[in-house]
Chain A
Amino acid sequence: MPRRIVIGIRGVGHRVIDSIWRLGYASRFFLLTLLKSGTSLRRFGLVIRELYFTGVLSLIIILVSGLFVGMVLGLQGYETLQKYGAESAVGTLVALSLVRELGPVVAALLFASRAGSAITAEIGLMKATEQLAAMEMMAVDPIARVVAPRFWAGVISMPFLAALFSTIGVFGGYLVAVVVIGVDEGSFWSQMQNAVDFRYDIVNGIIKTCVFGVAVTAIAVFEGYDASPTAEGVSGATTRTVVTSSLAILGLDFVLTSFMFRGMS
């Protein structure tokens, strides 16, 4: 009996040490990516190629879901606000919830599953087919040539994608509230402008998206680089990317929100 307890405790310890080791490995990998990103910034063509794949090709899903999220917010907001005779505040509701929370978070979640998983699968497969090893043989650093451009492309495209998500969402809310339901257009926009502060709401939202962009792409490139070089390993790494980065986005969002919007007075 005591032997089984010892084995159990040993299992817990093994897992904790393993996860701490992995965290340290990931942080060192992240630092190494930053240190070696000089090449990718000098040869900016590499980043532009990745911007096309992570940014431009994510546009469709971001725009369509932004539009529908905005339209649903408009409908539901109107439904509740009209009970209090405050239906012209629906613009405020749509804009504030998009700019502060939904824009950064939902855009980052979509970005993680659309672009993050693709990055992991690509790098993982490069490793499985020994392309990364071949690069090292030719004295080309795979971190500088493969990892850093993907990282920077993700970090650059994330704020733009989230801004587009919020913009198209506000437009969707406008479409439902003003065009379909018939809320007064003037008060829709003026109440929105009165309530949304540039420094307090929009800049904080942009800071959030930048943090999410770094977190998602750092996790994606690390999981790809760390994947075991088999078909199973690549699929496992892709799943881990989506799960870990989704959890990281939601956790970071709570931390950032509690620092940024701690009540006003």
Chain B
Amino acid sequence: MQRTVMDLWVGLFVIVGIGALLFLALKVGNMGTYSAAQSYMLIGNFENIGGLKVRAPVKSAGVVVGRVTDIRLNTETFDAAVTMSIDSRYQFPKDTFASILTAGLLGEQYIGLAAGGDETSLKEGDKIMKTNSAIVLEDLIGRFLFNKAAEGDKD
């Protein structure tokens, strides 16, 4: 086999290989939609996070604006401290409401941010004051049964 033909084939092989890597990164992966390069951190304390996991999306009005980066238990207040990194294109007011929601009936859990009306916006490392815990199905059923029992007593 001639050297130039071989060079051509190897060159094609390498270029197609790099193309495949780019395809995986941009089209299959999330590199095209979300970059961690410019973001700021927010912290939210939740009473109960349910099944929330690290890397779960943070959404506002259905748009993905960031990801959960860290979850740990605050041993002073015994609630969950959730750190999330938000794309710095999106600024939220100080009285933004954060709640843990579920996508569909069996879907994964994510944090929903509902913007408030405050004029100053949240900065790097700020704490979200208003939070709403995940809905735990067992609690819900328990409360329902308790209410039913209370109704039954009245009759």
Residues of A within 8 A of B (CB): 45, 48-49, 51-52, 55-56, 59, 84, 95, 99, 157, 159-161, 163-164, 166-167, 170, 189, 192-194, 196-202, 206, 264-265
- Check: B16 CB closer than 8 A to any chain A CB: yes
**A196 x B18 contact (CB < 8 A):** no
Determine the chain A residues whose CB is within 8 A of the CB of B6 once the complex forms: 48-49, 52
**A45 x B3 contact (CB < 8 A):** yes
How would you classify the secondary structure of chain A's contact residues: helix, strand, loop or mixed? helix
Determine the chain B residues whose CB is within 8 A of the CB of A45 once the complex forms: 3
Determine the chain A residues whose CB is within 8 A of the CB of B31 once the complex forms: 198, 202
**B28 x A160 contact (CB < 8 A):** no
CA distance A260 to B125 in the complex (A): 28
Determine the chain B residues whose CB is within 8 A of the CB of A84 once the complex forms: 106
B72 and chain A: residue at smallest CB distance:
A265
Cβ < 8 Å to A, chain B residues 89-108: 106
**B30 x A55 contact (CB < 8 A):** no
A264/B28 contact (C-beta < 8 A), A51-B10, A160-B14, A167-B20 known: no
Residues of B within 8 A of A (CB): 1, 3, 6-7, 9-10, 12-14, 16-18, 20-21, 23-25, 27-33, 36, 53-55, 57, 64, 71, 106
> Number of contacts between A and B (CB, 8 Å)?
88
Contact of A197 among B3, B20, B29 (CB under 8 A): B29
A55/B10 contact (C-beta < 8 A), A160-B17, A163-B20, A200-B55 known: yes
**B17 x A201 contact (CB < 8 A):** no
A52/B9 contact (C-beta < 8 A), A163-B20, A193-B33 known: yes
CA distance A194 to B59 in the complex (A): 12
CA distance A202 to B23 in the complex (A): 11
CB distance from B29 to the nearest CB of A (A): 4
**B55 x A95 contact (CB < 8 A):** no
CA distance A52 to B8 in the complex (A): 10
Enumerate 17 A-B pairs (CB-CB under 8 Å) in ascending A order: A48-B6, A55-B10, A56-B10, A56-B13, A157-B13, A161-B17, A164-B20, A166-B20, A192-B28, A193-B27, A193-B28, A193-B29, A193-B32, A194-B57, A196-B28, A264-B53, A265-B53
**B13 x A59 contact (CB < 8 A):** yes
CB distance from A235 to the nearest CB of B (A): 26
CB distance from B57 to the nearest CB of A (A): 7
A48-B6, A202-B31 are known contacts; what are 4 more A-B pairs with Cβ within 8 Å?
A: A52-B6, A160-B14, A164-B20, A193-B30
Determine the chain B residues whose CB is within 8 A of the CB of A159 once the complex forms: 17, 21
CA distance A84 to B104 in the complex (A): 12
**B30 x A196 contact (CB < 8 A):** yes
**B29 x A51 contact (CB < 8 A):** no
Determine the chain A residues whose CB is within 8 A of the CB of B106 once the complex forms: 84
